[in-house]
Structure 1
Amino acid sequence: MLIELRPGTSAEAAEEVAARAGAHEDVTAWPVRLAGRVFVVVSGDESLAHVPASPAVLARRPTPDGHWLVRRDSGVAPREVTIGPPLSGPPEAPRQVGVVGGPRLWWAAGPCALESTEDAVETALTVRAQGAHALRAGLSKTRSSPYHFPGRGLRGLEALAEIRRAAAIPVITEVCDPREVAAVAEVADCLQVDGRQLDNRPLLAELGAQRRPVLLMRGPRASLDDWLRAAEFVFTRGNSAVVLCAGATGTPQQPGFGAITALRARTELPVIFDPSHSTRSASLVAPAALAASAYGADGLLIESCTKPERLYRPGDAAHMFPPESLADLVATCERVRDSARSLEVSC
């Protein structure tokens, strides 16, 4: 349940409402400010929660589906999310900024996992020259096998910072452990969550406590409600800078383009598409990216590397789209998206 408070409610008054709403030992409540509005999040048995008769209380917002804040009609979820400065960061942070959900197609490219620092710098410089808004390079990976390279984890933070400085480009990296979120947020411009981590509630809560954008991948078996509830977990901790990333769904897995349009009816949050993981083939990245653009994706997350033959994980090289062709691909995707929009029919 959510209790919305009146605009201008002080922090002290919000804390008082939260304390009274969560007075029962089986209920937890805390205030959160989102989109210039003030809410008290009530977690636990709603029948035990108390909505105080306070002049600060504006309305009670029932949450039967578990995701009211991210809904289109809530007026809370942002249509645009900025990745890169002016977010807090070290003085040497790249000046480049990308807006996901704006008029232009946002895109990021790079290797699935951060491996060789030298190769990653070369890739970062190449994709930046191609027009990329950010570099993707995972520090931690939720692998399907315990014998596959799990990523460098916190050991790779210094390398990630070096790549970010050398290429002057924002970086997106994956985080799996809630204990590592704060440290990774000191370096990365955007924190990525694998679809298999959508049920990792401690991780989502910790991401919500940060002020870095969060990229939520959809798991292949996750419903739209599962996905939106994961975003809601981040929102309820105070962070509304969430981007949703669609990919493969079903068994056998196929690119889930329909999720892009389905989400449009349910949330304002920007939605991008991963044509690499959804197809598992570099030869299919372009068709999938074009299809996602026709469906109205706000951006693309593409696997690319200048030295794919040197990647550790068997099979990762097969996903890598040639970096020298990225600009042409994205330009074509933008034309397709514009053409599709010109043909939209109002229902």
Structure 2
Amino acid sequence: MNLRTVLSACAACAVLLLVALAAAIAFGGPTRPQPMLSISNPFRNVDYSALPPLSHYAARDGTQLAYRRYAPAGGAAARGSVVLVHGSSANSQSVHPLAQSLAGAGFAVYALDIRGHGDSGPHGDIAYIGQLDDDLQDFTGSVRPPRPSTLAGFSSGGGFAIRVAGGARQALFDNYLFLAPYTSRRAASFRPNAGGWVAVGVPRVVALTLLNRIGVTRYNHLPVVAFAVGNASAAGLVGTYSYALVTNFQPDEAYQDDIRAIREPAAVLAGVDDEVFLAARFAQVFAEAGRPDIPVTLVPGSGHIGLTLDAQARAAVVAAVAKLDAATRPMPASASQAPAPIGERAY
């Protein structure tokens, strides 16, 4: 085979690869799964009459991002604070009963509308991977939650909490509580398609991952996952996530490194009957990451959404936060202002 033939073959392969990438990006997006009623139906019985109004803080790009504040019951001084991060597709309203329970126990509670959700910018997308980390630092710097402070994330929000807890800005909070957290599609706790909650546009994910590895990010706004919600816009939910948002709203790809790098007190809670994740395997996930010391508690009788709605589960969350606070050594309030370069990670 002469050189000209080899070069022609290489050129043909390159053309085929470009065509395949273009096709995956253009046509490889997700299809909407059927609504998952076990996720949506429990909210029908929630009383939102005491839902606090939205407040806003300015992120570094000038965007006004939303949150709800719950004052400690009875006007008492806060015994500490809890910042709640909702799950995928949702917003601050979804953790209302849990926030009420924590406020009733004397905590100042802040329920966030993560960027891309609720009243925090356009739904389903962010500007760059790492923007959510920046937003969280901007929140703590602006609002200054009372110490000791706990970041408690649910489901995908729990995965984001793992990302923060194992990253360069973990000192923003004194404690971390992971509620039925998403860790990775490769983790032992993951059910296929999250039990029917998500559909992934695998071809597009693969193509965009390859492009990101060579620094091409211009297509990161394209949707790559769809959620099993009905009329998402009518319900104030988010139907799809872009590549940038789904990548940022979870642990890093090397999720075990994130878990291994956690230095602040942390704990895991999940419902025994979780239909999205395999709750009985959360202990295995953390042990395999080298952190069997992070306790995992399973709440009887609770499913995935029930972990934030059921009275028994909410009481377990309150007890877990109190236990973390009892063991923590609060950082100075100024620690929440410590700058971190955009996108910086530490392991």
State if a TM-score over 0.5 links the two structures. Answer: no
TM-score w.r.t. the length of structure 2 is: 0.31
With a CA cutoff of 8 Å and minimum separation of 6, indicate the structure with the bigger relative contact order: 2
Structure showing the higher helix proportion among its residues: 2
